[in-house]
Structure 1
């Protein structure tokens, strides 16, 4: 069974129906064809971070992406340093 994917606008509209129009979660869930727990989860995600509530599918929040990129850069630089250290030992050996 495949999972349905809903875009952010769809999720925000469902949240708006519940929070602003005071409709019940089961009523909205029935109207849009999702399980009520799904809407509760969307509302929880929205309340945790209203600016970027629905990240996923490989997308990261800006802070998380910046941290991941910094860690990758550090790893690359450490690898370069290790290579340069090996090169120094090879080129500074006295000739035989």
Structure 2
């Protein structure tokens, strides 16, 4: 048993934080990442519980969804207005270019 303690790997705080950030950015499972990094999935889960920062992950929040929908509606209205202005400008250019001839 004492041999196991001697071979136990120690990781610094920065490594743990970077690993958690890496996990959050991946689409792989924690088990797959654990195999990739040769770190037990149980250890990674404990790091996630301690160091996880949710700004790196999409969070579904009804207020955020409503805000995004409002922004999309405003942008669609701006697009429609710009299309209308462009159509008017095209007609004006056509009218003025024909009147000079």
More RCO (CA 8 Å, sep 6+)? 2
So what's the TM-score if we normalise by structure 1?
0.44
Which has the larger Rg? 2
So what's the TM-score if we normalise by structure 2?
0.42
Point out the structure with the larger helix share: 2
